[in-house]
Structure 1
Amino acid sequence: MDNFFNALNNFFLIGLPYMALLVFVIGSVWRYTSTKFKFSSLSSQFLEGRQLFWGSVPFHIGILFLFFGHLTAFLIPKAVLLWNGHPARLIVLEVTAFVFAIAVLIGIVNLLYRRITNARISVVTTKMDYAIISLLLIQVVSGLWVAYNFRWGSSWFSSVLTPYLRSIFALQPDVTAVSALPWVVKFHIVGAFFIVLLIPFSRLVHFLVVPLNYIWRPYQQVVWYWDRKNVRKAWTPWSLQRPKNN
């Protein structure tokens, strides 16, 4: 039985990460060189904007904080541990991260609800969209579960997961410490690598081409020739065929 669990740990904590990173790099390059016009988020804002706002804004704000929070613990773990040396600072960090995670959860639920209930959005929604949103939903729920049941994650992430992740990138994988973690933590790790694996084939690939030039580009004037209220209604006459570029 021990050999079986060791094999599972080796596959999901060593084999899967390398597979995910390899597919991510090769897949992203392939998609960019072969289908540049699809190398984006394929925004549906023109089809519906109100629900998108309440889904996209909390999701992006929350996910950015969590991403850079994890990245900080990976890059400078000693600084994070030093910060957490004072109980008040540790609690502030943990509570703040938890709040942003809830924001991500609210955003994902709204985005999923929008794609399921809005007829116009459903037409341009692919199976991969549902798959990646579902994975993100599972990931944030498992993350909240870990944060609530296994407190002070920023500290044990810096001391346990950072060495593991660095060993992966150093091509000297060491899963000794990670293997002893609770199953839900390992589930959260595996979920993250599954998302990385699917990035080249989903809308998430757009984060690789962040349009920073939008910050300083001139203002663009958009002229509406249709009634705004009618154009955003699902029953307004519109093509119900899936666009060829989606």
Structure 2
Amino acid sequence: MLNTVLNTFIFVALPYVALAMLIVVTPYRYYSNRLTWSAYSTQFLERKTLYWGANPWHYGIIPIILAHTLGVVAPGAMKSLLGNVEVLVFLESVGLGLGLFALFGCVVLLLRRVNAPMLKRVTYPADWVLLILLTFQTLTGVYISLFMRWGSQWYLHTAVPYLYSLLYFNPKVEYLADFPLILKLHAAGAFLIVALLPFTKLVHLLYWPLDFLKDPPILYRWRSRPEGKVE
């Protein structure tokens, strides 16, 4: 009974709530208050740790997201590609490395916010929740990659058909109902991140910034105290 309730919540209620939040809240925020759309630049407040956090995070997580997306967009091609054992082992190994790289960057970014008092002033509760969720999501992904091998293969035969069933408003929970708890938590984390996305500064990733290419560069100047002046 408890397992059925958990499956219904994670695989039926949560994805549709997340999708509704994304569709309704995102355009409302975009047209009601554009000033909150972009992420604040914190490089001026702290830059050394940002370098070691942002680069590993972006270079690690973006290929992983693309790989997940390709499995949904082109499942046939991915099945043919992963049908080769050597390719499967190679891609699984690369995926694990990217996951560890992203996890390192995410942990650094989280600790950066914790240890820099000035950053806490521009970090809101939703941002803390999102950072913790991203860290948890990456950690569970690395765990799955380490201890439940060949996830890219069974992902195509379980998660992908389930995601398509969501689009047809006929969620096939049976594809994922017997998954271990860690996999269900990984799925729940993904839906929660999508639901929270419109409420955080990370929503700027949904904007295609082609217009920014036409903008002139912004020049920043530091205001320094004149030499010899005593206050």
Q: TM-score, normalised to structure 1's length? A: 0.86
1: CA distance, partners of 2:29 / 2:218: 31
Consecutive unaligned residues in structure 2, runs of 5 or more: 225-231
CA contact 1:80–1:154 (8 Å) conserved in 2: no
2: CA distance, partners of 1:180 / 1:59: 31
2: CA distance, partners of 1:129 / 1:28: 16
**Structure-to-structure mapping, 1:186-225, within 5 angstroms:** 186-214=184-212, 216-217=213-214, 220=217, 222-225=219-222
Q: Which residue of 2 aligns with 1:115?
A: 113
Q: Which residue of 2 aligns with 1:9?
A: 7
1: CA distance, partners of 2:187 / 2:91: 21
Aligned equivalent of 1:154, options 152, 165, 170: 152
Q: Please give the per-residue CA displacement for 1:182-238, whole angstroms capped at 9, x wherever unaligned.
A: 111111001100111100111220111132344x447626253346xxxxxxxxxxx
Q: Which residue of 2 aligns with 1:48?
A: 46
2: CA distance, partners of 1:28 / 1:181: 32
**Structure-to-structure mapping, 1:70-219, within 5 angstroms:** 70-214=68-212, 216-217=213-214
CA contact 1:55–1:109 (8 Å) conserved in 2: yes
2: CA distance, partners of 1:210 / 1:57: 20
Q: Which residue of 1 aligns with 2:20?
A: 22
1: CA distance, partners of 2:220 / 2:8: 57
2: CA distance, partners of 1:8 / 1:223: 51
SS at match of 1:179: coil
User: Aligned AA for 1:29?
Assistant: P
Instruction: Decide whether aligned partners of structure 1 residues 127 and 221 sit closer, same or farther in structure 2, where only a CA change above 3 A counts.
Output: closer
1: CA distance, partners of 2:208 / 2:101: 22
Give, in angstroms, the shift of residue 33 of structure 1.
1.5
Identical amino acids, percent of aligned pairs:
33
Consecutive unaligned residues in structure 1, runs of 5 or more: 228-246
Aligned equivalent of 1:69, options 67, 70, 84: 67
Aligned equivalent of 1:60, options 58, 61, 65: 58
Q: Which residue of 1 aligns with 2:30?
A: 32
2: CA distance, partners of 1:101 / 1:212: 29
User: Aligned AA for 2:69?
Assistant: L
SS at match of 1:181: coil
CA RMSD of aligned residues (A): 1.6
Structure 1's consecutive aligned runs of 4 or more residues displaced over 3 angstroms after TM superposition are 216-219
CA contact 1:59–1:107 (8 Å) conserved in 2: yes
Q: TM-score, normalised to structure 2's length? A: 0.91
Instruction: Decide whether aligned partners of structure 1 residues 221 and 176 sit closer, same or farther in structure 2, where only a CA change above 3 A counts.
Output: closer
2: CA distance, partners of 1:198 / 1:113: 21
